[in-house]
Structure 1
Amino acid sequence: MSRLSGLRLYLNTASFSPLVTILNQNKLTGSDYVDWKRNLDIVLTTEEHKYVLTKPCPSFLSLDAPLEEKQRYDRWQKSNEMAKCYILASISNVLQHEMQDVELASDIMLSLKEMFGEQGRSARQETMRQIYNTKMAEGSSIREHFLTMISNLN
């Protein structure tokens, strides 16, 4: 069984966290990058693995390194692997194949942000433009205008 097949089987059958359902139901396909990233951040934060996206791996230790340093290194490595699993399991099959050999979860996230992050920025700009240009038509319902504005903000 390949590493990727094992990962899929593990995360599809695992009930170790009800939050995994969030990622299974909201896979990254491209246009949904902002929503996907928010859901991934929730899961990684809850599972205490998000720090590997911002903190570098501790230096590889010598055999005579103190136990505390070895534990810190091992904890970071395990969190990196778990973060990679969550990321890979929550992206499309095509993206999985592209990213499966990347060693660091932070590198996978950087690649995904480069691919899809700009779409989120342009969507926010377009939404702000819609909000700014939306005017209440004379004689129309305040309620309808309010709901339109709320919809744009959402």
Structure 2
Amino acid sequence: MSAEALMSVLDEEEPEFPNEKNPKSKAVYELFRQKNSKAKLLVLSSLEKTITDSVKDLYLTKDMMEELKEMYGREERHVHHQLVTLLHGTKMAQGTPVIDHVMKM
């Protein structure tokens, strides 16, 4: 599956379930379902098992990606905050060459 096909599944909304009033909706729905299934397998195969277990029950690949962004977005903000706090709190010790302080930073 190409990256373009994966992106199209992430951008598209799930079509309505096929009904008798619109016979063409079945083909559209089946195509979306197949692309979603392949994209979901691709995403799941690239994750570690511990992460896979937390998102494998979601039906849409789009929902899986949103859940992963939410899970790891929080961690990035936390790590960023810790790093900024550490940098702001770092002081140059008296008698230490500037190069040593810069390397520490």
Name the counterpart of 1:86. 42
SS at match of 2:95: coil
Letter in 1 for 2:82: E
Gapped runs of 5+ residues in structure 1?
Answer: 1-15, 17-45, 150-154
Q: Structure 2 residue aligned with 1:106, among 40, 50, 62?
A: 62
Q: Which structure: larger Rg?
A: 2
Change (3 A) 1:134 1:56: same
CA RMSD of aligned residues (A): 3.3
Q: d(CA) in 2 for partners of 1:133 and 1:88?
A: 40
Q: Give, in angstroms, the shift of residue 128 of structure 1.
A: 0.7
1:95 aligns with 2:71: no
Name the counterpart of 2:31. 74
Give % identity. Answer: 28
Q: d(CA) in 1 for partners of 2:101 and 2:94?
A: 11
1:119 aligns with 2:75: yes
Give the alignment's TM-score, normalised by structure 1. 0.46
Give the alignment's TM-score, normalised by structure 2. 0.61
Change (3 A) 1:58 1:96: closer
Q: d(CA) in 2 for partners of 1:119 and 1:105?
A: 22
Letter in 2 for 1:86: L
Name the counterpart of 1:47. 3
Q: Is the 1:57–1:76 Cα contact (8 Å) retained in structure 2?
A: no
Q: Give, in angstroms, the shift of residue 77 of structure 1.
A: 5.0
Q: Is the 2:14–2:32 Cα contact (8 Å) retained in structure 1?
A: no
Gapped runs of 5+ residues in structure 2?
Answer: none
Q: Is the 1:52–1:76 Cα contact (8 Å) retained in structure 2?
A: no
Change (3 A) 1:134 1:86: farther
Letter in 2 for 1:127: L
Q: d(CA) in 2 for partners of 1:147 and 1:51?
A: 45
Q: Across the two proteins, how many residue pairs are aligned to each other?
A: 98
Change (3 A) 1:90 1:147: farther
SS at match of 1:103: coil
Name the counterpart of 1:63. 23
